[in-house]
Structure 1
C-alpha cells in the first residue's frame, strides 16, 4: 500500500513538473490591429493572456502592439514586452507582424529579421526571431506569415509552395535550433495540395476544425490559421487548439468580428526542453529588416543616432528590436539618449535597459 501511495505521489510530482516546464505559444490574426475606438484591447488581452507568447498578424502600427502589451501587463500584473517588423506589402496597403510575450516566461534572444524574398513571391514577407523559454531554458524560433488571400486558391498557392524554400532558409539562418515553428494565417487549409512541397520537412499541428468566424454564432468556416513544426522536432505537444474566443468572452460572432477579429487564435501548450540547443544566428544569411537585434554591441550603437517617433514621443537605441520600424514621416534623430530625454521622449518598451 505504501509503495502504491509513493508511486502515485511520484507520478503527480512528475506531472506537475511537466506542466511547469510547458511553454504556451499562440498565433492570432487580429484583423487590422490599430488604435481605434472599435478595437476592444481589454477583450483581446483577456484572451491573449492565456499564452506566454503570441505572434500577431495584420498589425497596422507598432503603437497598437504596445497598447496590447500595456493592457496585458495591467490585467496580469506581469510585465509584457513586444517587438514589431517594418510594414510589408507591395501596394500602398501594408501590414506589420508582431510578437508579444510575458517577460517572466519568455525572453527575446536574437535574430529578428524579415525574409529577403529574392523572387518577390510573397506579398508580405515572413518575419522571424529567436526566443528563450525561461521555464526550461530552451530556445525556439518563431516565424510568422500572412499569406495573400487573392481572388482564388490559385492566387495563394504560389506563396504556400514558396514556404518550402523559406523553411530551408530558416534552418540555415538559425542553425542548431531544432524547435522552429512557422505560424500565422495561411489562407489555405492544411489539406491543400499546395502544401506538398513543405510536407517532407514540416507538419501542421491543427488538422481538423476551423479558425475563421462564420456569420453564424458557434460555427467556424475555414481552417486557415495553423502552426507548423519540423517533422524531426522533439517538441512534446501537450495540447493544441483553435480557441473559441467569442464563447469565452460571451460575444456573438458579429460582436467578435466587429471589436476583436474575424479569426480565432491557435494556442499551443508544449514542452520544448528536448530541443533546447542554443545554436547561433548566421548573420550572413540575415536580410535587411526594420527590427534589429536587441543584442547589438554597444560599440556599434555609439556610432548610430538615436531614432525617435515624433508621434508617440518614444525613442529607440540601435540595439532595440524596433529601431528601424519608425515610419519615415514620424522619424526624428538624436545624437544621444540624453538629447531624446531632454526633448521629453521616453525609451521604447521593448528596449532592454542599458
Structure 2
C-alpha cells in the first residue's frame, strides 16, 4: 500500500459519531430530604440516565451524602457505569451549595477540576466550578472541553453574569478555549431586565454563543422565565454544538404539577455536542469529498473494505447538525389487549418520545384503533406533535399484521407510502411496506430517504431476507436509492444458519451496509439472537448513518423481567441519521 495513503487512513476516524447529550439542572435544594422521597428519586434516576453529562446545581447537603447516594441508585439500574465529581461547598451564609457532575464513564473522564478564586472582588455568591472532560470512547476529534457551572444569586444576577467572561478567561488560560458555561443564571424576569443585557460583557462578546435564548421558559411554575442557560465558547466547541432546548420531564414522564415540583422548580436545559473531524474549508463540497475518497480507493485497490470507504467519507463532513434517532421495534402482538395495560402503555410512550421515527411491527389489531390511541397518548404528554402512518393489514392467515411509523411532525413529513406487491412469487408472509420521508427542520444532510419495514416469517426467514434486495430495487426505482431496511428479520439462531448467509443476496451485495451485525442480542429472553436488523443502501444514506445499537429499555427504565416481557420479547434497534 502506498505509504501516504496508509498514513491518511491511519489518522482518520468516523466523523458522524453519536453526540454527547449534556445538560444543566437546578435540583432545587437537593439533599437528603429529597433523597428520602422515593418518587422524586425515581425521576432523578431516570433523568440522569438520559445524559452523558448531567450537571446539577443547588446541592444543599451538609452531610454530602445525597449525590453519592443518587449515583449509587443510578448504577443499580444502569448497564453503563456512572461516576461523579463535586465542588467545594460555597456560599456566604450557612446555606452553602455545591455543583455536581454525573457522567458516563464509558464516554468521558475527568482530567481536571477547578474552583474559581473570587477572593479579590467577591462577586459570586457561589463561585463557579469548572471540570475539564476528555472523551474516551474513541469517537470524534474534539476530545477536550471544560464545563463551567454557575448558580447566580438572583439579586446579583447581572453582576455575576457580567463577570463570567473573566471566569472563562481564567479557565481558558489553564485548560484551553473550548468551554461550556451552564447553569441557573437567573437570567430573566425580575432579575435581569431587558435593557440590562447591554451591561453584560458575555452577552455582547462575539466569542460566546448562547444556546438557550431569552424566549424559552425553563421554569416549572406559571412564570415564563429563561433563568437557565447554556453558553459555549471556543471555535471548535461553538462549531460542534447543537442548539439548546428545555427537557420537559413532566411531559416525558407523565407527571402532575405536584409530582414535578417535588423534583424541582426548574427544567433541565440540554444540547448535543457533536464531535466531527475538522477539515480544510476548501474541501467541504460533497462531490469533492466523494472524488477524493474514490481516488484513495483506487490507490488502495479494489479490495478496499466498505467500512473503510464510509469512514473516509465521514472524515470529510461537518456533521454537527442535529441527527435523527430512528428505531425499529417488534412490539409483539401489539393491539388493544396491550393498550389496556397502563404500565405497558407508559413504557411505550416513553420509548416513542425517545425517537424521531419509531417503526413498529407486529401490529395485530382488527379494529385498527391501538396505534392511533398510542399516538394520542403520546401527544397528550409531548409538547412536540407526533403523527403516524400505517400499512395495510397483511398475512396469509386470519392473524394479519400491520407496520406503523410514528414520527415527529416538526422534523419530518411523509411524502410517499408504498406496499410492495408480492403477487407473482408470494415470497413474503407480510409484504414489506415503504415510507418516503423528507426532513423539514432545516437541519441535517440526508433530506430524503425511504424506510422499508419487514417482519419475516421465522420458517421462511432465509428466503424472505434474500428477496429484500428485489424490494429495495423496486422502491429505489420509484423513490430513489437512499433507503433504510429495518425490522424483525428473524435473522439468527434456528431461522438463519451460519452457512445460510452466503445464499442471501443482500448480505453479499456491496450496495448494502448492515448497521446491526450478527454479534448482538436483540431479544429479551435468555436466548442470544440477532433477530432484528437495520440495513442501509444508497451512497448518501450509507455516508450519513451511524452504526446501530440495541436500546435496552429494561435497564433504562428499571424494569424486571416480567415487566419487560409485558412490553415485548424484543428490544428496539436504533441508529443516528445525520
Do they superpose with TM above 0.5?
Answer: yes
* Structure with higher helix content: 2
Alpha carbons 2:15, 2:277 under 8 Å: kept = no
Alpha carbons 1:246, 1:256 under 8 Å: kept = yes
Computing the radius of gyration from Cα coordinates, the structure with the larger value is 2
| Residue in 2 that maps onto 1:256 | 260
Query: What CA RMSD, in Å, does the superposition of the two structures yield over aligned residues?
Result: 2.1
| Residue in 2 that maps onto 1:12 | none
Unaligned runs of 5+ in 1: 1-16, 276-354
CA distance in 1, matches of 2:217, 2:227: 7
Alpha carbons 1:179, 1:272 under 8 Å: kept = no
| Residue in 2 that maps onto 1:214 | 221
Kindly state the Cα deviation for residue 246 of structure 1 after the two structures are TM-superposed: 0.8
| Residue in 1 that maps onto 2:48 | 48
Alpha carbons 2:28, 2:265 under 8 Å: kept = yes
| Residue in 1 that maps onto 2:268 | 265
| Residue in 1 that maps onto 2:27 | 30
> How many residues of Structure 1 are paired with residues of Structure 2 in the alignment?
247
Alpha carbons 1:23, 1:133 under 8 Å: kept = no
Kindly state the Cα deviation for residue 74 of structure 1 after the two structures are TM-superposed: 2.1
**TM-score calculated relative to the size of structure 1:** 0.65
Alignment of 1:1-354 (within 5 A): 20-36=17-33, 37-38=36-37, 40-61=40-61, 62-110=64-112, 112-117=113-118, 118-135=120-137, 136=139, 138-150=143-155, 155-174=156-175, 177-189=176-188, 192-193=196-197, 196-198=200-202, 199-200=204-205, 201-207=207-213, 208-215=215-222, 221-230=224-233, 232-234=235-237, 235-258=239-262, 260-274=263-277
| Residue in 2 that maps onto 1:13 | none
Q: Point out the more displaced range, 157-166 or 131-140.
A: 131-140
SS at match of 1:237: coil
Alpha carbons 1:46, 1:75 under 8 Å: kept = no
Alpha carbons 2:28, 2:266 under 8 Å: kept = yes
CA distance in 1, matches of 2:168, 2:20: 22
Pair 1:25–1:44, CA change in 2 (3 A): same
CA distance in 2, matches of 1:213, 1:202: 27
CA distance in 1, matches of 2:133, 2:234: 20
CA distance in 2, matches of 1:85, 1:103: 19
SS at match of 2:50: coil
Alpha carbons 1:160, 1:195 under 8 Å: kept = no
Alpha carbons 1:185, 1:225 under 8 Å: kept = yes
CA distance in 1, matches of 2:264, 2:46: 14
Deviations 1:8-66 (A, max 9, x none): xxxxxxxxx65534111111000111122236221111122111111110012332111
CA distance in 1, matches of 2:217, 2:48: 19
Unaligned runs of 5+ in 2: 1-13, 279-578
CA distance in 2, matches of 1:133, 1:86: 24
